[in-house]
Structure 1
Amino acid sequence: MGLTGQGLLVLLAVVAAGCVAATVWVWPRLARRHWTAVLGRLGTLVATQLAALAALGVAGNDYFGFYASWDDLLGTGGGGQPVAVQDHFRAAAGWRPQDPSGTATGVEHLGTLPVGGPGGPRQSGLLEHVRISGGASGISSDGYVYLPPQYFQPQEAHRRLPAAVVLTGYPGDARNLVTRLDYPGTELREVQAGRMRPTVLVMLRPTVAPPRDTECVDVPGGPQAETYFARDVPRAVAAAYRVASGPRSWGVIGDSTGGYCALSLTLRHPDAYGAAVSLSGYYRAAHDPTTGDLFHGSARLHRGHDLMWRLRHLPAPDVPVLVTTSRQGEADYRATRAFIAAARPPLRVSSITLPSGGHNFHTWELEIPVALPWLAEHLRGD
Structure 2
Amino acid sequence: MGLTSGGPLALVIVLGALLFGGTVVCWPRLASRGPRFVAGRVVLLTATQCAVLTAVCLAANQTFGFYAGWADLFGRESARGVVVDHDTAGGGGPRGPVQVVSTGRIEVPGGERPQIGGRLQKVEIVGRRTHLVTPAYVYLPPEYFQPGHRARAFPVAVVLTGYPGTAEALVKGLRYPQTAHALAAGGRMRPMILVMLRPTVAPPRDTECVDVPGGPQAETFFAEDLPYAVSRHYRAAGGPRGWGVIGDSTGGYCALKLAIHHPGTYAAGAGLSPYYRAPVDPTTGDLFHGDEELRSGADLVWYLEHRPAPDTSLLVTSSRRGEGNYRETLRFIELVRDRKPTRISSIILGSGGHNFNTWRREIPAALRWMSGRIADG
Give the TM-score, by structure 2 length: 0.93
Give 4+ residue runs of structure 1 displaced > 6 Å after superposition.
none
Q: Deviations over 1:310-353 (max 9, x none)?
A: 11111110101111111111111111111111111011101111
- The corresponding residue for 1:364 is 359
Question: Shift in Å at residue 38 of structure 1?
Answer: 2.8
Question: Shift in Å at residue 179 of structure 1?
Answer: 1.4
Question: Shift in Å at residue 297 of structure 1?
Answer: 3.8
Query: Partner of 1:217: helix, strand, or coil?
Result: coil
- The corresponding residue for 2:6 is 6
1:341-356 paired onto structure 2 within 5 Å: 341-343=334-336, 344-356=339-351
Work out which of the residue numbers 143, 146, 164 in structure 1 matches 2:139.
146
Question: Shift in Å at residue 97 of structure 1?
Answer: 3.0
Question: Shift in Å at residue 79 of structure 1?
Answer: 4.5
Counterparts of 1:17 and 1:354, CA distance in 2: 40
Work out which of the residue numbers 336, 360, 364 in structure 1 matches 2:329.
336
Counterparts of 1:125 and 1:303, CA distance in 2: 42
**Are the counterparts in 2 of residues 82 and 133 from structure 1 also a CA contact under 8 Å?**
no
Work out which of the residue numbers 235, 238, 241 in structure 2 matches 1:245.
238
Query: Partner of 1:48: helix, strand, or coil?
Result: helix
Work out which of the residue numbers 169, 173, 180 in structure 1 matches 2:173.
180
Pair 98,10 (structure 1): closer, same or farther in 2 beyond 3 Å: closer
Q: State the Cα RMSD in Å.
A: 2.0
Work out which of the residue numbers 295, 304, 308 in structure 2 matches 1:311.
304
| Greater Cα offset, 17-26 or 350-359 | 17-26
Counterparts of 1:83 and 1:43, CA distance in 2: 47
Counterparts of 1:221 and 1:35, CA distance in 2: 58
**Structure 1 letter corresponding to 2:64:** F
**Structure 1 letter corresponding to 2:281:** D
**Are the counterparts in 2 of residues 145 and 202 from structure 1 also a CA contact under 8 Å?**
yes
**Are the counterparts in 1 of residues 92 and 98 from structure 2 also a CA contact under 8 Å?**
no
1:196-345 paired onto structure 2 within 5 Å: 196-343=189-336, 344-345=339-340
**Structure 2 letter corresponding to 1:370:** A
Pair 149,224 (structure 1): closer, same or farther in 2 beyond 3 Å: same
Q: Deviations over 1:71-105 (max 9, x none)?
A: 211222234367694733x2xxxxx7379xxxx86
**Are the counterparts in 1 of residues 83 and 101 from structure 2 also a CA contact under 8 Å?**
no
Query: Partner of 2:167: helix, strand, or coil?
Result: coil
**Are the counterparts in 1 of residues 105 and 118 from structure 2 also a CA contact under 8 Å?**
no
Unaligned runs of 5+ in 2: none
Pair 381,323 (structure 1): closer, same or farther in 2 beyond 3 Å: same
Counterparts of 1:51 and 1:323, CA distance in 2: 40
**Structure 2 letter corresponding to 1:26:** C
**Structure 1 letter corresponding to 2:178:** G
- The corresponding residue for 1:157 is 150
Query: Partner of 1:222: helix, strand, or coil?
Result: coil
Unaligned runs of 5+ in 1: 91-95
**Structure 2 letter corresponding to 1:155:** G
Q: Deviations over 1:246-276 (max 9, x none)?
A: 2211110011111001001111122221211
**Are the counterparts in 1 of residues 245 and 255 from structure 2 also a CA contact under 8 Å?**
yes
**Are the counterparts in 1 of residues 161 and 170 from structure 2 also a CA contact under 8 Å?**
yes
**Structure 2 letter corresponding to 1:39:** A
Pair 367,40 (structure 1): closer, same or farther in 2 beyond 3 Å: same
- The corresponding residue for 1:109 is 100
Counterparts of 1:62 and 1:188, CA distance in 2: 24
Q: Deviations over 1:216-239 (max 9, x none)?
A: 112222222212211111111111
Counterparts of 1:82 and 1:377, CA distance in 2: 39
Counterparts of 1:216 and 1:29, CA distance in 2: 58
Q: Percent identity?
A: 54
- The corresponding residue for 1:97 is 91
Give the TM-score, by structure 1 length: 0.92
**Are the counterparts in 1 of residues 105 and 120 from structure 2 also a CA contact under 8 Å?**
yes
**Are the counterparts in 2 of residues 163 and 200 from structure 1 also a CA contact under 8 Å?**
yes
The number of residues matched between the two structures is 373
1:47-58 paired onto structure 2 within 5 Å: 47-58=47-58
Counterparts of 1:186 and 1:273, CA distance in 2: 22
Query: Partner of 2:181: helix, strand, or coil?
Result: helix
Pair 261,325 (structure 1): closer, same or farther in 2 beyond 3 Å: same
**Are the counterparts in 2 of residues 83 and 107 from structure 1 also a CA contact under 8 Å?**
no
**Are the counterparts in 2 of residues 280 and 323 from structure 1 also a CA contact under 8 Å?**
yes
Query: Partner of 2:180: helix, strand, or coil?
Result: helix
Counterparts of 1:168 and 1:147, CA distance in 2: 19
